[in-house]
């Protein structure tokens, strides 16, 4: 008998959907979502088996299995029956394999959801995985790999993995290729289909989480889910337990110089840190990424941008596991920035030193908590397929009452946790990756899977100390309190229902129109300012000048507008046929 949990979900104030937790007799855990206003239904299944579970010498088997499940099932033996049904009824489907999980998801017209879900359920009950599909899907996996060979994102990610402990699953090549799924298994006398069927036994109901998003009532969808997914076998598999950090001392204090495919210089400074998920209510990495990645005056980026060394900067923690994480500061460099790479690295460490000396500030944490709370409670609805794929990952990580909020609302001020992460951002634990075609002819190594050329140099704490000393002398300082953070989110009363915009002011040079929102009643705004400039496009020279003016204006406003963006106020400036337009909106 399935158990329907009476969970008090932490949810956004603006969220009118209904939710129910359901635990099936086979230990498959489900989240049911009812939305009477939706015209699309969606579902996502996360299986706690990913590329880290690939058997030794069969790299990419988890990804290959993901492909094979789309082929056919015992109940629906027609080739690609599931995919055809979805596409013929206004839907889309996809899947992805990550380190510890594999996710399958689809959406479809709400009226066709029951039949679509039945076909989807067969992935996890009795897929065929016929011999005639094996070679074709290996070719499809290999085609993906060949496409990735030209992607610098994939190349650099695999290079980072290559320079890790060989006995850690992070080191593995994960996507698979013709070599790993056809050539090498044959050489070893392995039947890849039999290996696939053996690997599929890991797909046990106790390792699965399902999110279903429908128009119908919760009772209605519960009956459907029980009837379809109770047939998924529970073989009581253990979830994959990843070892801790994949980087040992020999993989730190390194400067890796790599040659990309596409022209451009990039710098990435990273450290292995304690995963933020272990302290998600304190959010130490969120606090630090806010400050290190800030773009206002006194920030790292503001200084290197003014010096003409960088075009952007991103900072934050990321991971594909609960057991390890990396905090990174990444930036796109100019040619001058490439020449001043050591100065930039020194400036980053200089700012980290400032954070340690200046101490942790409760007002900064409270300001971020206020921004996060506003963003969560007044978030816009996203497409059902996006909602189910983002929500399902929370089910594995958080208690049921926190499935909808996840780590969005850090609420416990814990300076000791922030200092703990700050201490981990040290010269002794750093690894630096620099990508540039300027390194051509000076590298002496090649990563085996993507053939990325690279070289390695040691970077000692003493060297970093020297870089700090010769870093730019411009003053670094913490951001001031954000004047854009809202203090009052109450709505103004509108006496009458307004159907059309009304004109509030009219002059020879301007008109001001206004219309209150009569549908959503949330503290949000959308403003369009249309500048009519008669001479802006009267000649090619004028059009180019207007375009340059808009780009320079955006660049000039960046430091000031960054605080507004953090607080949820966004703006864009667009060229129009009669001038330009400024659009301002709340998140």
Counting residues of the chain whose pLDDT is more than 90, the rounded percentage is: 86
Confidence grade of residue 1 (pLDDT, cut at 50, 70, 90): low
Q: How far apart are CA 451 and CA 449, in angstroms?
A: 6
The pLDDT score that the predictor gives to residue 489 is 87
Alpha helices (H) in 499-539, listed in sequence order: none
**pLDDT surpasses 70 at 477:** yes
d(C-alpha 109, C-alpha 125), whole Å: 24
CA-based nearest residue to 54, from 226, 189, 171: 171
| 267 Rama sector, left if φ>0, alpha if ψ -120 to 50, beta otherwise | beta
Report whether pLDDT(523) > 70. Answer: yes
Mean pLDDT of the chain: 94
Q: What is the distance between the alpha carbons of residues 230 and 232, in angstroms, rounded to a whole number?
A: 6
What is the maximal distance between C-alpha atoms in the chain? 85
Residue whose structure tokens are 């040691």: 458
Q: Which residues of 228-256 are buried (b: 16+ CB within 10 A; e: fewer)?
A: bbbebebeebeebebeebbbeeebbbbbb
What is the distance between the terminal CA atoms of the chain, rounded to a whole angstrom?
43
Other CB atoms within 10 Å distance of the CB of residue 410 = 23
Rounded mean pLDDT of 277-292?
A: 95
Q: Please give the Cα distance from 81 to 103 (Å, whole number).
A: 19
Q: What is the DSSP string of 291-314?
A: HHT--STTSHHHHHHHTT-EEEEE
On whether the CB atoms of residues 25 and 73 are closer than 8 A, the answer is no
Region 45-63 average pLDDT = 97
Q: Are 449 and 158 in contact (CB under 8 A)?
A: yes
| Residue 100 annotated as catalytic | no
For residue 488, the model assigns a pLDDT of 87
Q: Kindly report, residue by residue over 56-85, the tens digit of the pLDDT.
A: 999 999 999 999 999 999 999 998 899 999
Q: Is-contact 158 59, C-beta < 8 A?
A: no
Spatial contact of 32 and 229, defined as CB atoms under 8 Å apart: no
Q: Where does the pLDDT of residue 4 fall: very low under 50, low under 70, confident under 90, or very high at 90 and above?
A: low
Please give the pLDDT value at position 331.
98
The CATH superfamily holding the domain 249-383+399-469 is: Metalloenzyme, LuxS/M16 peptidase-like (3.30.830.10)
CA distances from 466 to 146, 347, 437, 463 (A): 42, 11, 26, 5
Strands in 483-524 per DSSP E: 502-506, 511-514
Strand partners, 4: 22
- Among left, alpha and beta (phi > 0; psi -120 to 50; other), residue 234 is beta
Of 29, 59, 66, 402, catalytic: 66
Q: Which one, of 133, 438, 136, 421, lies nearest residue 264 by Cα?
A: 438
The Cα–Cα gap between 85 and 90 comes to 9
Angle CA(309)–CA(345)–CA(247) in degrees, nearest 5? 130
What residues does CATH 3.30.830.10 cover in the chain?
3-229, 249-383+399-469, 502-586
The per-residue pLDDT for 239 is 87
The residues, ordered by sequence, that sit 6+ positions from 223 with a Cβ below 8 Å of its Cβ are none
Would the pLDDT of 499 be above 90? no
Q: How confident is the model at residue 428 (pLDDT cuts 50, 70, 90)?
A: very high
pLDDT digits (tens, 9 = 90+) for 96-109: 999 999 999 999 99
CA–CA distance, 75 with 122 (Å, rounded to integer): 7
CA separation for the pair 362, 529 (Å, rounded): 38
What would the pLDDT profile of 207-256 be if each residue is shown by its tens digit?
A: 999 999 999 999 999 999 999 999 999 999 998 888 888 999 999 999 99
Whole-number Å distance between alpha carbons of 73 and 120: 10
Quickly state the pLDDT bin for 577 (edges 50, 70, 90): confident
Element at 56 (helix H, strand E): none
pLDDT in tens, 316-337: 999 878 889 999 999 999 999 9
Question: Tokens 């129009």 map to which residue?
Answer: 576
pLDDT (average), residues 136-150: 96
CATH architecture of 502-586: 2-Layer Sandwich (3.30)
> What's the DSSP call for residue 250?
G
The answer to whether the beta carbons of residues 18 and 197 sit under 8 Å apart is no
**Cα–Cα distance between 342 and 138 in angstroms, integer?**
44
Q: Are 252 and 428 in contact (CB under 8 A)?
A: yes
Based on the residue annotation, tell me whether 137 is a catalytic residue of this protein: yes
Res 498: pLDDT: 80
The pLDDT tens digits for 444-471 are 999 999 999 999 999 999 999 999 999 9
**Highest mean pLDDT pick, 298-312, 520-534, 546-560:** 298-312
* CB neighbour class for 59 (10 Å; exposed up to 12, middle 13-18, buried from 19): buried
According to CATH, what is the number of the domain 3-229?
Answer: 3.30.830.10
Using DSSP's 3-state secondary structure scheme, residue 454 falls into: strand
CA 570 from chain center: how many Å? 20
State pLDDT tens for residues 159-209.
999 999 999 999 999 999 999 999 999 999 999 999 999 999 999 999 999
d(CA 12, CA 381): 11
Residue 258: pLDDT band (50, 70, 90) is very high
Percent of the chain scored above 70 by pLDDT? Answer: 99
Classify residue 519 as exposed, middle or buried by CB count within 10 Å of its CB (0-12, 13-18, 19+). exposed
In terms of C-beta distances under 8 Å and separation of at least 24 residues, what long-range contacts does 454-457 make, across chains too? Answer: 454/159, 454/256, 454/257, 454/258, 454/259, 455/256, 455/257, 456/163, 456/254, 456/255, 456/256, 456/257, 457/254, 457/255, 457/257
Q: Kindly tell me if the per-residue pLDDT of 549 is higher than 70.
A: yes
The pLDDT value given to residue 500? 87
Catalytic hit among 59, 100, 137, 195: 137
Mean pLDDT for the stretch of residues 409-422: 96
- Residue in the block written with tokens 């301007």: 510
pLDDT score recorded for residue 492: 82
> pLDDT (tens digit, 9 = 90+) per residue, 355-405?
999 999 999 999 999 999 999 999 989 999 999 999 999 999 999 999 999
- What is the rounded average pLDDT of the residues 505-523? 88
Radius of gyration of the chain (CA): 27
Is residue 158 within 8 A of residue 452, CB to CB? The reply is yes
């Amino acid at each position: 008998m399935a158990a329907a949990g009476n969970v008090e979900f932490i949810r956004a104030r603006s969220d009118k959907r209904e939710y129910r937790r359901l635990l099936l007799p086979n230990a498959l855990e489900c989240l049911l979502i009812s939305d009477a206003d939706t015209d699309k239904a969606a579902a996502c299944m996360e299986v706690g088996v990913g590329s880290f579970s690939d058997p030794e010498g069969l790299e990419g088997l988890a990804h290959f299995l993901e492909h094979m499940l789309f082929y056919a099932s015992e109940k629906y033996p027609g080739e690609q029956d599931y995919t055809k049904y979805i596409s013929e009824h206004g839907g889309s489907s996809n899947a992805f394999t990550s380190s510890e999980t594999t996710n399958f998801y689809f959406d479809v017209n709400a009226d066709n959801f029951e039949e679509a879900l039945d076909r989807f359920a067969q992935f996890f009950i009795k897929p065929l995985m016929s011999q005639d599909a094996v070679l074709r899907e290996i070719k499809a996996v290999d085609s993906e790999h060949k496409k990735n060979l030209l992607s610098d994102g994939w190349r650099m990610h695999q290079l980072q993995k290559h320079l890790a402990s060989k006995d850690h699953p992070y080191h593995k090549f994960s996507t698979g290729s013709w070599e790993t799924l056809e050539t090498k298994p044959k050489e070893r006398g392995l039947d890849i289909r039999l290996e696939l069927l053996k690997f599929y036994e890991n797909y046990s109901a106790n390792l699965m989480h399902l999110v279903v998003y429908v128009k119908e009532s919760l009772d209605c969808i519960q009956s459907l889910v029980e009837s379809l997914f109770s047939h998924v076998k529970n073989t009581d598999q253990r979830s994959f337990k990843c070892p801790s950090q994949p980087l040992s001392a020999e993989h730190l204090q390194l400067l890796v110089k790599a040659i990309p495919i596409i022209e451009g210089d990039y710098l990435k400074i990273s450290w292995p840190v304690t995963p933020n998920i272990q302290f998600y209510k304190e959010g130490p990495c969120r606090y630090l990424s806010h400050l290190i990645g800030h773009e206002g005056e006194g920030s790292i980026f503001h200084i290197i941008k003014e010096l003409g060394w960088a075009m952007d900067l991103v900072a934050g923690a990321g991971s594909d596991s609960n057991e390890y994480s990396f905090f990174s500061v990444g930036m796109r460099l100019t040619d001058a920035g490439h020449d001043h790479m050591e100065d930039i690295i020194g400036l980053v460490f200089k700012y980290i030193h400032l954070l340690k000396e200046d101490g942790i500030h409760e007002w900064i944490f409270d300001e971020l908590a206020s921004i996060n709370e506003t963003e969560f409670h007044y978030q816009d609805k996203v497409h059902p397929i996006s909602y189910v794929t983002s929500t399902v990952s929370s089910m594995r990580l958080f208690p049921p009452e926190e499935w909808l909020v996840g780590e969005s609302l850090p609420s416990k001020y814990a300076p000791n946790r922030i200092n703990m992460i700050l201490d981990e951002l040290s010269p002794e634990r750093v690894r630096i990756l620099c990508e540039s075609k300027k390194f051509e002819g000076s590298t002496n190594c090649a990563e085996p899977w993507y053939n990325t050329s690279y070289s390695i140099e040691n970077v000692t704490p003493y060297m970093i100390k020297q870089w700090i000393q010769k870093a730019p002398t411009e003053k670094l300082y913490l951001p001031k309190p954000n004047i854009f953070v809202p203090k009052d989110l109450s709505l103004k009363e509108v006496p009458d229902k307004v159907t059309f915009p009304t004109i509030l002011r009219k002059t020879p040079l301007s008109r001001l129109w206004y219309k209150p929102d009569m549908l959503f009643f949330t503290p949000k705004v959308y403003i369009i300012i249309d500048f009519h400039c008669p001479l802006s496009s009267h000649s090619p020279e004028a059009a180019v000048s207007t375009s340059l003016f808009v780009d320079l204006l955006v660049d000039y406003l960046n430091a000031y507008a960054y605080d507004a963006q953090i607080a949820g106020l966004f703006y864009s400036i667009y060229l129009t046929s009669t001038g330009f337009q400024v659009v301002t909106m709340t998140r």
